Amino acid sequence: MPATSPVPSAPQFSHREILEILTGALLGLLLAALDQTVVVTALPAIAGDLNGLQHLAWIVTAYLLTSTASTPIYGKLSDLYGRRRLLQIGVAIFVVASLFCALSQTMAQLIAARALQGIGGGALISMAQAIIADVISPRERGRYQVYMSGVWALASLGGPVMGGLFVQYLSWRWVFWVNLPIGIFGLMLCNNALKKLPVHARQPRIDYLGAAILVPAVVALLLVASWGGTELPWTSPAIWGLLGVGVLLIAAFALQELRAREPLLPPRLFTNPVIRIANLTSFIVSAGMFGAIVLLPVFLQLVLGKSPGNTGLLLIPLMGGTVLGAYPAGQWMQHTGRYKLAPIVTLAGAALAFLLLATTGPATPPLLVAFYILLLGTGMGASMPVMLVATQNAADQRDTGTATGSVAFFRSLGGSFGAAALWSMLLYFFDARLTELGESGLAATVLQGGTVGTTAGLSPPVRAALAHSFDLAFIGGAIIMAISVVSAMLLKEIPLRTTLGPIDPIGEP
């Protein structure tokens, strides 16, 4: 092996410099998070204008496929070329794709533009997390993770409102036009604020073959998650075919990573027990979180009889809880240097919250429902930054971006599968109960695509069947959270470092 030069100590940043750097990173994160929540509100208007109701789901799915597949690639490239450069590329792609989305005249054009937008979006989230790891020691990092949770909460609360106002008073196209000024400002800010970020002085060797295998593998598996139980039956040949292709490609990708000189997801990451268990836990927790996001709005309106406005108010605790959970978890990590206890306790609380939601009905006081939802959001929100910090703390400095990308990658996969699994569970139990009542086929009408209709014309037995099916789906969510508690208990605890560790810093051009 060639001799390596001594590695200088990591650069130190003042609090002001950290805030400047975080501002540039978090603006990119806000751009990605806000786009997802704004677009959801505009979906019905888009479908009506472009005459594409049957392909409506692809507006969301196309973005999810490309952003998930590109996340680990950005993580690896940022370890080789620097976070600033990759974040700028991601923002630029995102802005250009937003322009194409706003100008789309057909559903096919919009779906293609959304796929391109996802390629840019894959950089925005993973780079923000990796940039925090570049400038803040693991022990202090939990405190700053609260800023990221705050960005997500802001996007989750403000995005639907903004999207509704755009659709009502302007046009659905404005949900994409608004990305242009934010993105251009983000590019300018990134160019100045992120110049001090270090770059690892290594000769880059890109694993192109690994990327070529990983992307279709992820696409196949996410199509299984997106279509299974909704577009196609789980037992259909197409679903089984996609699953088989996805599994075979994942196996081929694993073999490629073992032989590649610069693998996208280095096998050494997953020989580390902390990184392996943290990624597994992130996958499971994200499955429960996205399952809740899919189920709760429909449950609140169809079962509890809440209006859309009141539903929005009752969902505030879910997203606000993620911030409330992240803050004490970050403070705990900062003061103790440890991280294992917090997710075990809070995820147990999330499992309990799912069980409590299974006991709610139209007579349950709204404040009590809000408390259950708050407990759910707090429990899941506290675990997310812990798993990220634990992964970054255990990874070699050369693998910070790759390790961070792996967490984002498994979160996306988990969220996709969890949302699909719990929604399919709901449909299965509802349809089975309706079959017993002689009302087979009504489930798709009541829960068509997850959109909210009305139960006013349904018979009491059908309404009872719907409520019971949601109860069983929430119990499924509780089981997922219970599994995440077991996974968190398996997490090996390594005291959090108080330094950034060795880096090969050379100023970015």
Q: Tell me how far apart the alpha carbons of residues 165 and 30 are, in angstroms, rounded to a whole number.
A: 19
- Per-residue pLDDT, averaged over 244-267, amounts to 83
**Where residue 204 falls among pLDDT bands split at 50, 70, 90?**
low
Q: Are residues 295 and 189 in the same domain?
A: no
Residue that is written with structure tokens 């580390």 in the block: 272
Q: Are residues 191 and 336 in the same domain?
A: no
pTM: 0.72
> Whose CA is closest to 503, among 2, 139, 8, 17?
8
**Where residue 485 falls among pLDDT bands split at 50, 70, 90?**
very high
DSSP secondary structure, 411-451, as one string:
HHHHHHHHHHHHHHHHHHHHHHHHHHTT-TTHHHHHTGGG-
Other C-beta atoms within 10 Å of 354: how many? Answer: 27
- What percent of the chain is modeled with pLDDT above 90? 9
Whole domain around residue 459: which residue ranges? 268-499
Q: Are residues 78 and 105 in the same domain?
A: yes
**pLDDT above 70 for 357:** yes
Average per-residue pLDDT for the chain: 75
User: Which region among 66-80, 85-99, 280-294, 490-504 has the lowest average model confidence (pLDDT)?
Assistant: 490-504
Q: Tell me how far apart the alpha carbons of residues 384 and 350 are, in angstroms, rounded to a whole number.
A: 13
Q: Are residues 369 and 424 in the same domain?
A: yes
> Whose CA is closest to 465, among 491, 499, 439, 484?
439
Q: Are residues 403 and 311 in the same domain?
A: yes
User: Which region among 198-202, 255-259, 336-340 has the lowest average model confidence (pLDDT)?
Assistant: 198-202
**pLDDT above 50 for 507:** no
Domain boundary among 197, 222, 247: 197
Question: How high is the pLDDT of residue 5?
Answer: 41
Question: How high is the pLDDT of residue 450?
Answer: 41
Q: Tell me how far apart the alpha carbons of residues 53 and 44 are, in angstroms, rounded to a whole number.
A: 8
**pLDDT above 80 for 177:** yes
Assess if residue 506 is contained within a domain.
no
Other C-beta atoms within 10 Å of 389: how many? Answer: 28
Q: Are residues 362 and 458 in the same domain?
A: yes
The answer to whether residues 278 and 398 touch, using CB atoms and an 8 Å cutoff, is no
What the block records as the tokens of 266 is 């280095």
360 — phi, psi (to 5°)?
-85, 155
Q: Are residues 153 and 233 in the same domain?
A: no
Assess if residue 505 is contained within a domain.
no
Assess if residue 443 is contained within a domain.
yes
Q: Tell me how far apart the alpha carbons of residues 450 and 435 are, in angstroms, rounded to a whole number.
A: 20
> Whose CA is closest to 339, among 281, 284, 289?
281
Q: Are residues 170 and 230 in the same domain?
A: no
> pLDDT of 121-173, one tens digit each?
878 777 777 777 667 766 566 566 666 666 766 776 666 667 767 777 788 88
Q: Are residues 463 and 357 in the same domain?
A: yes
> Whose CA is closest to 121, among 28, 200, 1, 221?
28
Which of the 8 DSSP states describes residue 232? B
**Where residue 352 falls among pLDDT bands split at 50, 70, 90?**
very high
Assess if residue 141 is contained within a domain.
yes
CATH code of the domain covering residue 141: 1.20.1250.20
Q: Tell me how far apart the alpha carbons of residues 69 and 73 are, in angstroms, rounded to a whole number.
A: 8
The count of domains in the chain is 3
Q: Tell me how far apart the alpha carbons of residues 235 and 245 are, in angstroms, rounded to a whole number.
A: 15
Domain boundary among 197, 232, 253: 197
Beta pairing partners, 232: 228
Cα 312 off chain centre by: 20
Exposed / middle / buried, residue 477 (Cβ in 10 Å: 0-12, 13-18, 19+)? buried
Q: Are residues 155 and 228 in the same domain?
A: no
Q: Tell me how far apart the alpha carbons of residues 83 and 87 are, in angstroms, rounded to a whole number.
A: 6
**pLDDT above 80 for 325:** no
What the block records as the tokens of 291 is 């399952």
Q: Are residues 99 and 222 in the same domain?
A: no
What the block records as the tokens of 73 is 């690639």
Assess if residue 202 is contained within a domain.
no
Q: Which amino acid is at 349?
A: G
- Residue 125's alpha-carbon distances to 50, 375, 449, in angstroms, are 30, 25, 27
- Residue 115, sorted as left (phi over 0), alpha (psi -120 to 50) or beta, turns out to be alpha
Assess if residue 6 is contained within a domain.
no
Alpha-carbon torsion angle 164, 167, 172, 176, nearest 10: -50
Exposed / middle / buried, residue 137 (Cβ in 10 Å: 0-12, 13-18, 19+)? middle
Q: Are residues 255 and 321 in the same domain?
A: no
Q: Tell me how far apart the alpha carbons of residues 151 and 26 are, in angstroms, rounded to a whole number.
A: 7
Q: How far apart are the first and last CA of the chain?
A: 29
